[in-house]
Amino acid sequence: MLEQTIYRLDLWQECKWQRHTRFYTLRLCQNVFGEWVITKTWGSAVKKGFGKSQDLDFSDYQAALDNYQKLQQRREKRGYTRFDGKSRYCLIPAQTIFPQPPSRENRLSPGQLSLF
């Protein structure tokens, strides 16, 4: 007879960090068998490709939680800042300064040629 898996959704956790254009995500949850898993995901927000991911399996919740907290501390020691996760697509810090397009006065009109 199959044993029914009990999911403890109230214990699941997720944290996101960023440093410059790098991102790092930790997720503590249960797999389809009810075992506790930490999923680490990391990469660049500006390069092609998503990045890398790794699953760490644990026998019980307490062991997984202890490891999850150690991984959180490691991110903070390495200079990552916690990301609130409200926007899925913007990982670039708000204080980043982007080049401004030329003002209307400095633009070339169609047909003009700039030598500089």
Whole-angstrom distance, CA of residue 16 vs CA of residue 85: 7
Q: Over the chain, what is the mean pLDDT?
A: 80
- Higher pLDDT, residue 5 or 25: 25
Please report where in the chains the tokens 């044993």 appear, as a residue: 3
Q: Where are the domains of the chain?
A: 9-83
Number of Cα atoms under 13 Å in the Cβ half of residue 75:
22
List the structure tokens of 116. Answer: 């500089």
Q: Are the C-beta atoms of 48 and 54 separated by less than 8 Å?
A: no
Q: What is the CATH number of domain 9-83?
A: 2.20.140.10
Weakest mean pLDDT among 34-43, 58-67, 84-93, 105-114: 84-93
Of 48, 40, 2, which Cα lies nearest the Cα of 21?
A: 48
CA quadruple 105, 107, 111, 116: dihedral positive or negative? positive
Q: What is the mean pLDDT of residues 13-20?
A: 92
pLDDT of the residue at 93: 43
Whole-angstrom distance, CA of residue 53 vs CA of residue 81: 19
pLDDT digits (tens, 9 = 90+) for 55-91: 999 989 999 999 999 999 999 999 999 876 554 444 4
pTM over 0.85: no
Q: Are the C-beta atoms of 27 and 43 separated by less than 8 Å?
A: no
